[in-house]
Copies of this chain bind each other. A is one copy, B any other.
């Protein structure tokens, strides 16, 4: 299996912060040739160290003013119950993230809507209608102190 070295990690560090850097800029920044960077980046993408490159939008400007974290507990933990929940909840565009968790509930969802009315609409007519939901406890974001997609490397 492919093991990235220090140079690769330097590149990942940079591209995690700014995916628009050119090979030339990266080469200059870490003191290697353009051809080397070209080769490294190509491999990092082929090997899926870089899953994809995406634009990060300002959610307030696109009217996603309300972010909720919801803790979901299911009524049972049969394989089919978990599977169905995961499959169905993933279809909702409002649900940006869904993680199965350790602890006193089963899933954390990150839900993006424009305001409390839209959240309520989503909750009543989509989330709460899924089968085998025992409880949903929701917490709302008051302010973002830090919001980063980059992992510490």
Contact = CB atoms under 8 A, between A and B. Distances in A.
Interface of A: 12, 15-20, 47-59, 61-62, 64, 67, 69, 86, 89-90, 93-103, 105, 107-108, 112, 139-153
Contacts of A69: 69, 99, 101, 108
Contacts of A89: 145-146
Given A48-B58, A103-B139, 4 more contacts: A16-B54, A20-B53, A51-B56, A97-B147
15 contacts: A15-B55, A19-B53, A49-B57, A52-B56, A53-B53, A62-B151, A62-B153, A69-B99, A89-B146, A96-B146, A96-B149, A100-B141, A101-B140, A108-B139, A112-B152
Number of this chain's copies in the assembly equals 2
A142 B53 contact: no
B54 A100 contact: no
A143 B49 contact: no
A74 to B, nearest CB: 13
The winner among A101, A144, A145 for most chain B CB atoms within 10 A is A145
A77 to B, nearest CB: 12
A101 B142 contact: yes
B56 A54 contact: yes
Contacts of A51: 56-58
